[in-house]
Chain A
């Protein structure tokens, strides 16, 4: 008769990178960075897209992406030229990772997937020559903690840093928005985004800095089970007992959709990217729309 099993209440507070995780990150880099670099002139990663430094013009070659065509120049000179941009070497990336207590909800745990996304992003940034700094939100054991990835030898340290993280405490992305200054060319936020507000997040969208958000929800947050349930907020916001029926579930789904849509439309307005996914999805699937076309 039970609509849900006890496993749904399990918390997954720890981060454990499985064997082969580094290889998966390397494959992701190959797929997103190296392959695109090999297609120079045809189109490049969105990380290298609009907003990069303008380097000049060169004549259009047959078969090139027409999106690169400088239409103003074509109108004025009646000859096709493409814009040549280059990524600035030594770019700085910041990755803010929400490790508040609610990120322990799963399985699969939201923090687990968020940490995988953070590591994957860091690996991509490293491959592009960027300096990557990962900042964890403050837990019950103190304030925010950071780790800077400068070279390939730091990769093992980064994984250890992330594996030491635990989902606890009330501070999430909202707290990071208050306490941190990105000081970077790119800022990625990874968390459930339920504690933050769009305006406080997108205030960091400064000139030359691009924002990307990876919003991760647990399967039970996307599709709550029917029946009598006591919902607990792990960050001290209380609890709520409710009998979830079809009508209530529909209302919940609509409101959740509206909340997510609020983030997506705000991101679109600011020229930022915002990806939403379940913690049940592999981290590569979450990062693909963030880093790809």
Chain B
């Protein structure tokens, strides 16, 4: 009725101890024989207390009752009771959200469906998923997770913030369902692939112009300058250098980070100094709050000074900023950071990913299984506490009687 289970059933063997004590306490035993000179007083007392039963050895001291209770509760606590409840099978759905998943899914037939590869793959996956699932996607740094019947809506929006590589192998387990556009080869995980026809379109940017693939050929498009946003807190020296780099590369410098393909901003300063050293140069300034994201530069203490998250550079240094050593080497190092941080144009998909993903397919592995929640819960702690209290009371009563 209560679906109670015990983690350590062997602990019930300890019930033999209180049982033995109980039997010993209740066993008939001969009375002590004591000589006394006050037998006449005992007779007088018994005459006035006729209700007192004269029995042999059936009296169990109250203190022993509490000690027995303490042993019983202690045994229960040791056994680790917990309420059993089955956990419904749940898929861990690893959703591929790289740019190619947002390409139009066109079959080899001339019928245009209007669907994207991710839509088709997801529809196939949801045929297997009954109820809620743990949805996961890789954002280039780690896996994001969300539990529900559907993946979060913003995961289904195309963005240029994606990784070219998916670390599938890290989630190759029986309850995983990989959702992608082309055939995968896991050892234990299940997978569905949307397939999809080759799709022409933007593959990148070159010299301020977008580059597209069209019928297998690369074609330069219209001018499409990169937009750069520089936060007002960025130290003057770096702002000047960034603006010079952007001007040289024909980029647009925006006031807002909205629509920018590279954002450079500095975190609020705090007390103390911080410095980072490069090849022949040293950059120092007022230290700032610890930035998040993938660390690019660290100071001498190992603290992050420059990090990046999806086209956003976070600098943990503030004015007054001092560049010492080879200033040219520093400039090159900074520009390398900027160059590698610019996001590709929106909708850009690599040439390889734009090729046909085939007919798709699916392969079901073992899948998630019915599991049982075995967490002990708070019962054992409460039982242990009650056992301690009962033992203390029992020992106290025993002490009082003696």
Chain A residues with a Cβ under 8 A of chain B: 1-4, 6, 8-9, 11, 102-105, 110, 192, 194, 217-218, 220-221, 224-234, 237-243, 245, 247-248, 251-252, 255-256, 259
Contact = CB atoms under 8 A, between A and B. Distances in A.
20 contacts: A4-B32, A8-B34, A102-B36, A103-B37, A110-B37, A228-B29, A228-B57, A231-B36, A231-B39, A232-B36, A233-B36, A233-B37, A233-B39, A241-B54, A242-B46, A242-B52, A242-B54, A247-B52, A251-B49, A259-B41
B32 A229 contact: yes
Contacts of A241: 31, 54
Given A230-B32, A231-B42, 16 more contacts: A1-B24, A1-B25, A2-B32, A8-B34, A9-B35, A11-B35, A103-B37, A194-B37, A226-B401, A228-B56, A229-B31, A234-B37, A242-B46, A242-B54, A243-B59, A245-B59
> Looking at chain A's contact residues, is the secondary structure mostly helix, strand, loop, or mixed?
mixed
A194 B37 CA distance: 7
Contact of B34 (A192, A217, A220): A220
A131 to B, nearest CB: 31
Contacts of B42: 231, 240, 242, 252
A104 B32 contact: no
B328 interface: no
Given A8-B32, A252-B45, A237 B38 contact: no
B53 interface: yes
Interface of B: 24-25, 29-46, 48-49, 52-57, 59, 61, 64, 401
Contacts of A8: 32, 34
Contacts of B32: 2-4, 6, 8-9, 225, 227-230
Contacts of B25: 1
Contacts of A233: 35-37, 39
Given A230-B31, A248-B45, A243 B52 contact: yes
A225 to B, nearest CB: 7
A-B pairs, 5 with minimum CB distance: A102-B37, A228-B31, A233-B39, A230-B31, A192-B37
Contacts of B64: 1
B34 to A, nearest CB: 5
A255 B401 contact: no
A11 B30 CA distance: 20
Contact of A194 (B33, B34, B38, B48): B38
Contacts of B61: 226
Nearest to B56: A228
Contacts of B37: 102-103, 105, 110, 192, 194, 217-218, 221, 233-234
Contact of B33 (A3, A217, A230, A255): A230
A252 to B, nearest CB: 5
Given A237-B40, A240-B43, A255-B41, A230 B34 contact: yes
A267 to B, nearest CB: 19
A225 B49 CA distance: 18
A228 B45 CA distance: 15
**Residue picked from B36, B39, B49, B61, most chain A C-beta under 10 Å:** B36
A291 B156 CA distance: 108
Nearest to B53: A243
Contacts of A192: 37
Nearest to A246: B401
A70 B105 CA distance: 134
Contact of A227 (B40, B41, B43, B59): B59
Nearest to A103: B37
Given A242-B46, A243-B59, A221 B38 contact: yes
B162 to A, nearest CB: 77
